[in-house]
Amino acid sequence: GENVEQHPSTLSVQEGDSAVIKCTYSDSASNYFPWYKQELGKRPQLIIDIRSNVGEKKDQRIAVTLNKTAKHFSLHITETQPEDSAVYFCAASIKGGYSTLTFGKGTMLLVSP
């Protein structure tokens, strides 16, 4: 089955800096890669996603890049703010018409004022 590795497990940055979180996946048939933000005790919320026919996608301060050849994708957050502090999960869809998601173990991002 699919395996998703996520790094780093924790990331501390100063407000205004950029943050990058990286994920690799194992199943070359995976074709959908969402990122979720989870604040303490709350539900995971989709923040951005990318499909395999696109190499990069941007939404304001958030961007995701995908390298299908290398089987890795990354989340980039620019001009970080304290409210960006949360756990971020990457995921990949496994092969199948409905495609359940396989998640990484998460990255705790701490943005210091």
Minimum Å distance from CB 52 to other proteins? 9
Say whether the peptide bond before residue 82 is cis (omega within 30 degrees of 0).
no
# residues contacting other proteins (CB under 8 A): 27
Dump strand ranges (E) for 1-113: 4-7, 10-14, 19-25, 32-38, 45-51, 56-59, 62-67, 72-77, 86-93, 101-103, 107-112
24 vs 68, 79, 90, CA distance in Å? 10, 25, 9
Q: Which positions from 35 through 94 interact with other proteins, judged by CB under 8 A?
A: 36, 42-46, 49, 51, 89, 91, 93
Residue 39 or 79: the one with the smaller Cβ distance to other proteins is 39
Residue 14 or 53: the one with the smaller Cβ distance to other proteins is 53
Residues interacting with other proteins, by CB under 8 A? Answer: 4, 6, 31-32, 34, 36, 42-46, 49, 51, 89, 91, 93, 96-106
